[in-house]
Amino acid sequence: MEHRGVLIEDTFAEAFPMRAARLIITAANERWAHQAATTLTGFATSVIACKCEAAIERRLTPGETPDERPGVSVLLFAMDTEGLGKRLVERIGQAVLTCPTTSCFDGLPDADRRIQAGRALRVFGDGFQGSKVVGGERYWRIPVMDGEFLVQESFGAVKGIGGGNFIILGTDLRATLAAAEAAVDAIANVSGVILPFPGGIARSGSKVGSRRYKSVPATTNDAFCPTLRPLTTSSLPADADSVLEIVLDGLDEASIRRAMRVGVDAACRPGVRAITAGNFGGKLGPHHFHLHAIMSDSDVAEAPRA
Q: Which stretch binds other proteins (CB under 8 A): 128-136, 173-181, 204-212, 224-232?
A: 128-136
The smaller minimum CB distance to other proteins, of residues 84 and 142, is found at 142
Q: Which stretch binds other proteins (CB under 8 A): 35-43, 52-60, 142-150, 164-172?
A: 142-150
CB of 26 to other proteins, least distance (A): 9
User: Rounded to 5 degrees, what are φ and ψ at 216?
Assistant: -90, 120
CB of 138 to other proteins, least distance (A): 10
164 is a site residue for other proteins (CB under 8 A): no
Residues 86-115 within binding reach of other proteins (CB under 8 A): 103
153 is a site residue for other proteins (CB under 8 A): no
CB of 128 to other proteins, least distance (A): 9
Instruction: Choose, by CB under 8 A, the member of 130, 270, 282, 286 that binds other proteins.
Output: 130
CB atoms within 10 A of CB 62: 12
DSSP state of 92: I
Give start and end residues of each alpha helix (H) in the chain: 30-40, 47-50, 81-91, 117-121, 173-187, 253-267, 291-296, 298-302
| CA–CA gap between residue 56 and residue 42 (Å, rounded) | 10
Question: What SS3 class is residue 30?
Answer: helix
29 is a site residue for other proteins (CB under 8 A): no
Contact 198, 245 (CB under 8 A): no
Report how far apart, in Å, the C-alpha atoms of 296 and of each of 96, 226, 261, 263 are.
42, 30, 9, 14
134 is a site residue for other proteins (CB under 8 A): yes
71 is a site residue for other proteins (CB under 8 A): no
Instruction: Choose, by CB under 8 A, the member of 12, 139, 197, 224 that binds other proteins.
Output: 139
239 is a site residue for other proteins (CB under 8 A): no
| CA–CA gap between residue 251 and residue 257 (Å, rounded) | 11
H or E segment to which residue 42 belongs: none
Instruction: Choose, by CB under 8 A, the member of 22, 141, 258, 261 that binds other proteins.
Output: 141
DSSP state of 117: H
147 is a site residue for other proteins (CB under 8 A): yes
133 is a site residue for other proteins (CB under 8 A): yes
CB of 96 to other proteins, least distance (A): 12
25 is a site residue for other proteins (CB under 8 A): no
148 is a site residue for other proteins (CB under 8 A): yes
131 forms bridges with which residues in the sheet? 140
64 is a site residue for other proteins (CB under 8 A): no
Residue of 244, 243, 248 whose CA lies nearest to 202? 244
Amino acid at 269: R
170 forms bridges with which residues in the sheet? 242, 272
The residues that touch other proteins, with contacts defined as CB under 8 A, are: 66-69, 103, 130, 132-135, 139, 141, 147-150
